[in-house]
Amino acid sequence: MLQLTSHPDDLSTAVNLLRAGELVALPFETVYGLAADATNPDALRAIFRAKGRPADHPLIVHLAATEQLSDWVTEVPEVVWRLASAFWPGPLTLVLPAARTVSPLVTGGQTTVALRVPAHPVPQAVLRQFGRGLAAPSANPFGQISPTTAAHVRRHLAGKIAAVVDGGPCLVGIESTIVDLSREHPRILRPGAITTDMLARHLFLAGTVAAAAPRVPGALASHYAPRTPCYRIPAGLAPAGLAEAPFPGRRTGLLAQRPANWPVAKFWPMPSQSEDYARALYAALHEADATSCEVLLIALPPDEPAWAAIHDRLRRATRSL
């Protein structure tokens, strides 16, 4: 695996690899993504092989600019321009009716396609030079912890992809918000840094996700999970409120905003602000998973709207205590 930097010469190398149908991990503001030419079926199949990803799991296509949407969708409704003006480039993915030319490898065999214009300068530079859309799911084995550093990518995908561009730690730290605009009433299919309150200033959102909503990345019941068994402590029940360790005799790691009143093998103090917590979460899980801990406990943060995306990730990554 080539290890590239954000220097223009290295980014040109990354573009040449992508044009040759290779896989290149890129830093996004959300998490590191495994990029491939979204118009090359062989490159798209390589994503599924490298990740061990189910073939019916759709991919998000990343574009350099909103104006490229027309190449991927049947129409661009006015609400798209409104949201794009407010949130693109940025961590918002929009689901729209797909153009007939979009590969079923991208759509997962559905009639919709998920699209985003990223804010990170590295994929922006690569996309402008590449000239086409890039499919880029998270650069990790399917269902496991998303990577927020190049080291995370190297640890899990060495020997499976051509290169990784090291752009430092991701600034947002969790995956993009996904909004379905393919139906009459828009719905949030995956929460992220663009919150419900932020979106509600620009469109009316339906209250619930329909059972027949499009499949989207990161929506499985179990996802983002460490290999180490991981349990959540309910919001409102701080570790200090537990009279004794839930797993006596086992090396236990704890991720929480406050320490427990019983001994743990390792404690990861988590930030009190939701944006900082999101930025730190996956790195803490990667670090915890690399220790000798036999079990991990995560104290859930406040059950408030600003924390919705974090609760979503933790619910999928952990089991109930």
pTM over 0.85: yes
pLDDT tens sequence across 276-296: 999 999 999 999 999 999 999
Kindly state the tokens that stand for 187.
């719905």
Cα-Cα-Cα-Cα dihedral of 193, 197, 199, 202, to 10°? -150
The least confident of 24-33, 85-94, 195-204 is 195-204
| More confidently predicted of 269 and 237 | 269
Longest Cα separation, the chain = 60
* Contact (CB, 8 A) for 177 and 309: yes
Alpha-carbon span 306 to 96, nearest angstrom: 26
pLDDT at 303 over 80: yes
* Contact (CB, 8 A) for 81 and 66: yes
pLDDT tens sequence across 200-229: 999 988 765 555 567 777 666 677 788 999
Does the annotation flag 155 for ligand binding? no
Question: Across all residues in the chain, what is the average pLDDT?
Answer: 93
Alpha-carbon span 43 to 52, nearest angstrom: 14
The fold of 230-320 is Rossmann fold (3.40.50)
pLDDT at 240 over 80: no
Kindly state the tokens that stand for 15.
């573009």
Alpha-carbon span 186 to 182, nearest angstrom: 8
Distance between start and end Cα atoms, the chain: 39
pLDDT tens sequence across 129-186: 999 999 999 999 999 999 999 999 999 999 999 999 999 999 999 999 999 999 989 9
| The architecture CATH gives domain 2-200 | Alpha-Beta Complex (3.90)
pLDDT tens sequence across 29-59: 999 999 999 999 999 999 999 999 999 999 9
Alpha-carbon span 54 to 33, nearest angstrom: 17
Kindly state the tokens that stand for 242.
């537990």
pLDDT at 241 over 70: no
* Contact (CB, 8 A) for 243 and 253: no
Q: What is the pLDDT of residue 204?
A: 86
Does the annotation flag 190 for ligand binding? yes
Does the annotation flag 70 for ligand binding? no
Does the annotation flag 136 for ligand binding? yes
Does the annotation flag 32 for ligand binding? no
pLDDT tens sequence across 151-166: 999 999 999 999 999 9
CATH 3.90.870.10 boundaries in the chain: 2-200
Does the annotation flag 53 for ligand binding? yes
Q: What is the pLDDT of residue 238?
A: 61
CATH 3.40.50.11030 boundaries in the chain: 230-320
Residues facing 298 on adjacent strands: 232, 255
Alpha-carbon span 310 to 303, nearest angstrom: 10
CA 321 → CA 83, 227, 229, 248, 297, distances in Å? 39, 17, 11, 14, 9
Q: What is the pLDDT of residue 216?
A: 76
The least confident of 76-80, 193-197, 217-221 is 217-221
Alpha-carbon span 293 to 296, nearest angstrom: 7
**H/E run at residue 32:** strand 32-37
Kindly state the tokens that stand for 228.
């180490």
CA 233 → CA 271, 287, 318, distances in Å? 16, 19, 10
Does the annotation flag 138 for ligand binding? yes
Residues facing 71 on adjacent strands: none
Does the annotation flag 30 for ligand binding? yes
Alpha-carbon span 34 to 125, nearest angstrom: 16
